[in-house]
A and B are shown apart, each in its own frame.
Chain A
Amino acid sequence: MSDKLINISNISKIYKLGKVDVKALRRIDLQIREGEFITVMGPSGSGKSTLMNILGCLDTPTNGKYLLEDVDISQLNDNQLAAIRNKKIGFVFQNFNLLSRSNVYRNVELPLIYSNNNLGRKKKVLEAIDSVGLTDWISHRPSELSGGQKQRVAIARALSNDPSIIFADEPTGNLDSITGEEIIAIFQKLNKQGKTILMVTHEQEIARHSQKIIYLRDGLIGKKEKIDNPIDAEDHLKKMPRIEDRVN
């Protein structure tokens, strides 16, 4: 296996809107190494969502090649993509996307239900919940949790099947700054433990917590900025003004 976890070359995505072809991505090349924490930034319409959908195996490119752990997945069918999403990818969304009728445990267990491996399921779920610090909330439903807690459940769900990479789409977009910073702290902790993370955000401040920022504009990759000294979220949290009666 090469050291590149993700290697896309010459990827294009063209949507047909009536008679007009909309080129959402134009011949993009991008490599992500194992253990990297990368942010994608760009204005709306720049193709970030399309890129994330393709990288997240929710969509396939019109042209080009996408290697995920040396497997060419640009030509896979729906079921094969579902299996890849299940085993190799963890998603964290801006609006959490939890099952409202299921409790924390059931939500985190969800990816494991769809993988055929039932061995040690309970242990994996409990570990994932513990790693985001929600062990005390295990039987609560999402409606009983704060925004930050919901996002932590989503992170635990993304972790439960031990994926190769975590895709976080605006993970702090619906959170206040302190809660957002706490979520980023969890990502940094996971990254230090070796997890590869690709995040999309609007906020420069949030982006500066990662190791590299890729700017996307009009379906093309603009500049790539390497962050020499990423902000440490734990440190940063200590300097932030505390609101004493804040709920978790």
Chain B
Amino acid sequence: MKTFLENIKVAFQSLALNKVRSFLTMLGIIIGVGAVVAMLSIGTGAQNMVLENIQDIGSNLIIIAPGEQDQDSGYEQMLGMQKQDQLKIKDVEAIKRQSELIDGAIPVILSSSIASYLGDNSKVSIYASSREAEEIYNFEIETGNFYTDSDVANSSNVAVIGQTVIEDLFGKKNPIGELIKIDGKNFTVIGTIKEMGTDQFGNDQDNMISVPITTAQNKLYGLDYINLILAKARNEQVIDSANTEITNILRKEHNLRPDESNDFTVRSQTQILDIVGNIANIFTITIAGIASISLLVGGIGIMNIMLVSVTERTREIGIRKAVGAKNKDILIQFLIESVVLSISGGIVGIAFAVIVSILINNLTVLDTSVTIFPIILALSFSSVVGLFFGIYPAMRAARLNPIDALRYE
């Protein structure tokens, strides 16, 4: 044990003697370990955020979007080339009427408009839906009321507004009962929604006005279709069957022949969770690949410098052997030195990653978290690298003939 501590001390001494060289050698390990730990902490943060958002909405939620979404149509959709008018309010009615596995369904139109009050203008997100949105989308009413079924039936000009809109347009004034303009049309504010914070992309969810879906269709945008249908399954167990049921109802409703493909896409939150999980896995594999390459490069650097060190210290090895060091003692001494080199690199790398993670935490909406797992992983990997790439130089040192080593100039 004492010899072991002695060896660690000797290792630090000899590393300290060549500070610049030691640092440059460690750089490969520092970058590798630092990148892995930082990226994993960002990845964990992003994943947690997505999961949290989904949990907020509720994992029983089923999302029905227009058009068939597969990998090919994804780009067309992004470019707005695909028609998105397949879903109608009557589809929602059909689902509500015929499905046995869902608790409720709402039509959704998402858009943006200019809202104004007494000359103050503000760009806001419009979230148009039906009365059940309060429950299905988890809107929490702060003051006033949400719109009713009759508001929806009559296309009433009523609005429920979010906290940012209140701040921007009303300041400290009570908005209930006030008349605002949305794209020039008059609306009466009947309720306010509690603060909801930002979503995973950093969007402000409180800069939002919710109006009845029919009002949005008829008076604001002149649409006969809707953007989304949200349905809530009775419980998590029936989600998959509810998906199938909804698909069948909508195919019948849209008069699709058996050989025609769906003109809509049904997704559940669990499927979205799977997708998030898959993305996280791909991310992790990519990081692992980058990490192994940079640790490999770092390891080669360590081997290189250890070989130089063995040559430089040939006479020292000779002296140690002459006074009784066994091959094993020399081997251990040089192995410890290379492991100390790579673990020091690992520790500096982790420190570096923690700093980056804290910076990202403070400067972006991402809630990064450095967990203990990547740190342990990084430390064990860097010590394995040190051992693996140190063994050849250490064996060269151990095998030196003491007579020749003593004579080495």
Contact = CB atoms under 8 A, between A and B. Distances in A.
Interface stretch (B249-257, B283-291, B319-327, B342-350): B319-327
A76 interface: no
Interface residues of B, number: 23
Interface string B76-116: 00000000000000000000000000000000000000000
A85 B324 contact: yes
Contacts of A83: 324, 326
B324 A79 contact: no
A111 interface: yes
A120 to B, nearest CB: 13
Interface in B252-305: none
B323 A86 contact: yes
A79 B403 contact: no
B325 A82 contact: yes
B322 A114 contact: no
Given A97-B315, A97-B319, A101-B13, A78 B326 contact: yes
Given A101-B13, A101-B14, A85 B323 contact: yes
Contacts of A93: 406
B17 interface: yes
Interface string A91-123: 101000111010000000011011100100000
Contacts of A53: 403
A34 interface: no
A36 interface: no
Contacts of A101: 13-14, 17
B74 to A, nearest CB: 64
Nearest to B9: A106
A87 interface: yes
B68 interface: no
Nearest to B322: A91
Contact of B321 (A82, A99, A115): A82
A114 B329 contact: yes
B320 A110 contact: yes
A165 to B, nearest CB: 14
Interface in A151-168: 157, 161
Contacts of A114: 3, 320, 323-326, 329
Given A82-B324, A87-B324, A113 B3 contact: yes
Nearest to B321: A82
A83 B322 CA distance: 10
B316 interface: yes
Q: What interface size band does chain A fall in? A: 20 to 34
Interface string B325-343: 1111100000000000000
Given A99-B316, A101-B14, A101-B17, A115 B403 contact: no
Contacts of B17: 101
Contacts of B3: 113-114
A53 B403 CA distance: 8
Nearest to B324: A86
Name B's interface SS: helix
A82 B325 CA distance: 6
Interface centre among A56, A58, A83, A99 (most CB of B within 10 A): A58
Contacts of A113: 2-3, 6
A91 B323 contact: yes
A52 B373 CA distance: 57
A114 B316 CA distance: 14
B58 interface: no
Interface in B5-29: 6, 13-14, 17
B374 interface: no
Contacts of B329: 114
Contacts of B2: 113, 118
A111 B406 contact: no
Contacts of B402: 58
Nearest to A160: B323
A111 B323 contact: yes
Contacts of A182: none
Contacts of A115: 324
B319 to A, nearest CB: 5
Contacts of A157: 323
Contact of A85 (B6, B13, B322, B406): B322
A218 interface: no
Contacts of B324: 82-83, 85-87, 111, 114-115, 161
A161 B322 CA distance: 13
Given A101-B13, A113-B6, A58 B403 contact: yes
B325 A58 contact: no
Contacts of A98: 319
Contacts of A59: 403
A110 B6 CA distance: 11
B326 A58 contact: no
B327 A78 contact: yes
Contacts of B323: 85-86, 91, 110-111, 114, 157
A110 B326 CA distance: 13
Contacts of B318: 97
Interface of B: 2-3, 6, 13-14, 17, 315-316, 318-329, 402-403, 406
In order of increasing CB-CB distance, the 4 nearest A-B pairs are A86-B324, A111-B323, A114-B324, A82-B326
7 contacts: A53-B403, A85-B321, A85-B323, A93-B406, A99-B319, A110-B319, A110-B323
Interface of A: 53, 56, 58-59, 78-79, 82-83, 85-87, 91, 93, 97-99, 101, 110-111, 113-115, 118, 157, 161
